Every structure is written in C-alpha cells, then in structure tokens.
Amino acid sequence: MCGEASTGNEAVERYKELKPGLVTMDIIMPDMSGIEAVKEIKKIDPEAKILMVSAMGQQAVVLEAIQAGALDYVIKPFQPSRVLESIDRKH
C-alpha cells in the first residue's frame, strides 16, 4: 500500500500525487462518492486501474461503477485471492 484516502476528493488528490498501480475504492465516501472519484481519476489517467470495494452488491451500483471505469467490483468482506482474480481477469 502506498497511500490512503478518507474522502473522494482526497482519493483523487492522492492519485495525482502517488500514481499507484492499483486503486481500491469504496462506493460510500464523504464529499464525493467512490464512483464520482473513479470518473475524476479516469479523466486524469484513462489507464488507471481501479477496483471498487463495497458492502453493497446492488446490480445497478455495480453497473454504474463499471461504466465509470472501474475494472471490477468486489463485495466486502472478501478474500485477497478474489482481488487478485479480478486483476488477472482484466489483463
């Protein structure tokens, strides 16, 4: 892990600073939703790899996250192997 953010705006700023190889993003965040943060990060870097992580598994939310540019959507709690599977499947 190279960075952490507590809000959507902070996530966007951290991405600009750190340019991580992978971002895990929650859907529910203060000040800007995770989905909005994904859209902002993708404007900065269309190649950004973002994995949505949330306790919500509603199909509409999952679809919105993918349409925003997320690689995949993992429902909490999850096993680390599930994250690796999502990353591998998209390469």
Alpha helices in the chain (DSSP H): 8-18, 34-44, 59-68, 80-89
CATH number of 8-89: 3.40.50.2300
Under a CB-based contact definition with an 8 Å cutoff, are residues 25 and 70 in contact?
A: yes
Q: What is the pLDDT of residue 58?
A: 77
Q: What gap in Å lies between CA 17 and CA 15, rounded to an integer?
A: 5
Provide the whole-model pTM: 0.85
Q: What is the pLDDT of residue 74?
A: 87
Q: Residue-wise pLDDT tens for the chain (91 aa)?
A: 688 999 999 999 999 999 999 999 999 899 999 999 999 999 999 999 999 988 877 778 888 999 999 998 888 887 778 778 877 776 5
Q: What is the pLDDT of residue 91?
A: 55
